[in-house]
Chain A
Amino acid sequence: MKRLISARQLTKNYKARCVVDHINVDIQEGEIVALIGSNGAGKTTTISMLLGIIPQDSGTIEYWTSDYKKEIGTQLQSTPFFEGYSVEDNMKLFAAFYGMTLSIKMIEDKLAAFDLLHVKKTPAIKLSLGQQKRLAIIVTSLHNPKLVILDEPSAGLDPRGQKEIQHIIKRLKESGVAVLFSSHDMLEVMNVADRILIMHHGKIIANGSPDDLIAQYQTQNLEDLFFELTK
């Protein structure tokens, strides 16, 4: 498998506080990687550095392509959309950011696949949280990226919404897209992730498949493993 991202000794400090502390992150083609950790563990900062949104203080990030921003789809924690723009206009706008023009059929097909066709003309910021999360994931994949990075895609959703997001992540993998997502939900991680990275106080303290890690640390489940490693 081709390596898409290889980050080495990545470090970020905010004033005197070290939020990401010399971590290594690799993402391979077509795999689903979950980044888990408590609030403030450094997940969002790590994702922001991998996306090039904030610069790292030290360390290196190598991408499989020089124009990596064209090949990565992004969903941020706040699922932001442009105010005053309808769902379809937000889709057109984000596609334009990637140099793409969407036809009406492409927009409708995407929306129909995510059960959002009926809100095509609705202002995006007026959608329910679950609908906004789904729209955010549509937006991440409009330009057919090789890698999608999702920051807490199911945070704040009800169980049905969470299930839908898990289903969407699996669909992305089936279409050959690698996914890196952050989450607090161990069940979700267990259901979809091929590999997990556990972050604690800015460090990656475990890296492996959920089953391997559970076996290695001899815990009952992922939740126990997480508590064991982060106590």
Chain B
Amino acid sequence: MKTVFLLNLKSSMKDMYLLFWSILMPFAAIIVLRIFLPNYSGDYIEGIVAVSVFFYSFMTTAFIALSQRKRGVYNLLHATPLPLWKYIVSVSSSWSVIAIILSYIVLLFALVINQLKFSIYVLLYMTPIILIASLSFVFLSFFISSLVKNEGHLSMTANVLMIPMLLCSNAFFTMEKAPDFIQYISLVNPFEWFLNGIKAAFLNNFSLWGESLLLLIGCLALTLIISLKTFKYSDQ
């Protein structure tokens, strides 16, 4: 498992999609907000970090998983003695480590650009939230990639799930004035739990942090089971 973890970490670090969508795009958003909304730009940091992690651990990994399946490598994996759960947990863990690193990079950039002060405890509390949430999103990405046949189909299916998760959250708009049904959706939205966990880390709100962590652990168990049950080795 260690070798699979390390090799996947090494290869994923070199992924250009990671650099563009999960690092350069958040950097651009932070700069644009700083220029056009200087009084509020600091308020969006948690949202940008959360979206960046979500985008990487859900969208980017779903494309990688689909690409590997289409190449036939999962079929070959099936012929080896490595149990599927070990493979999924190993690669998902390495992607989660990358998600944690990129959250630090985006956070550091936002703090520097907005000239904000910051406590190391934020990182300490933020890290387990990102680890559990990104693992859940990666497991979800395996599930989504198993449902689809090609990249176009994946893009559509992932967006159908991703956009409501983003919009029914407090990432960029407050839910207070949203219609009741949107607020209800936000209560069962794993991305909202993730965002709340990150916000709680910034605010030192331990009850909200603990609640978010527990909900995300439940989500992790569920998505792991779904990803293992629905894993597709090949298109045949």
Contact = CB atoms under 8 A, between A and B. Distances in A.
Contacts of A101: 3
Contacts of A81: 71, 73
Contact of A78 (B14, B15, B72, B82): B72
A101 B72 CA distance: 23
Given A97-B80, A99-B82, 20 more contacts: A51-B79, A53-B78, A53-B234, A69-B80, A74-B76, A76-B75, A76-B76, A76-B79, A78-B71, A80-B75, A80-B76, A82-B73, A85-B11, A89-B7, A93-B7, A94-B80, A97-B4, A97-B81, A98-B80, A101-B3
A126 to B, nearest CB: 13
B119 interface: no
Nearest to A14: B236
A96 B80 CA distance: 10
A95 B236 CA distance: 26
B104 interface: no
Nearest to A79: B72
A52 interface: yes
A66 to B, nearest CB: 11
Interface size class of B (residues with CB under 8 A): 20 to 34
B67 interface: yes
Contact of A69 (B4, B7, B67, B79): B79
B81 A52 contact: no
Given A69-B81, A82-B11, A84-B12, A96 B76 contact: no
Contact of A83 (B71, B75, B80, B236): B71
A89 B10 contact: yes
B11 A72 contact: no
Interface in B50-76: 64, 67-68, 71-73, 75-76
B4 A67 contact: no
A135 B201 CA distance: 49
Interface string A51-81: 1111000000000000101101010101011
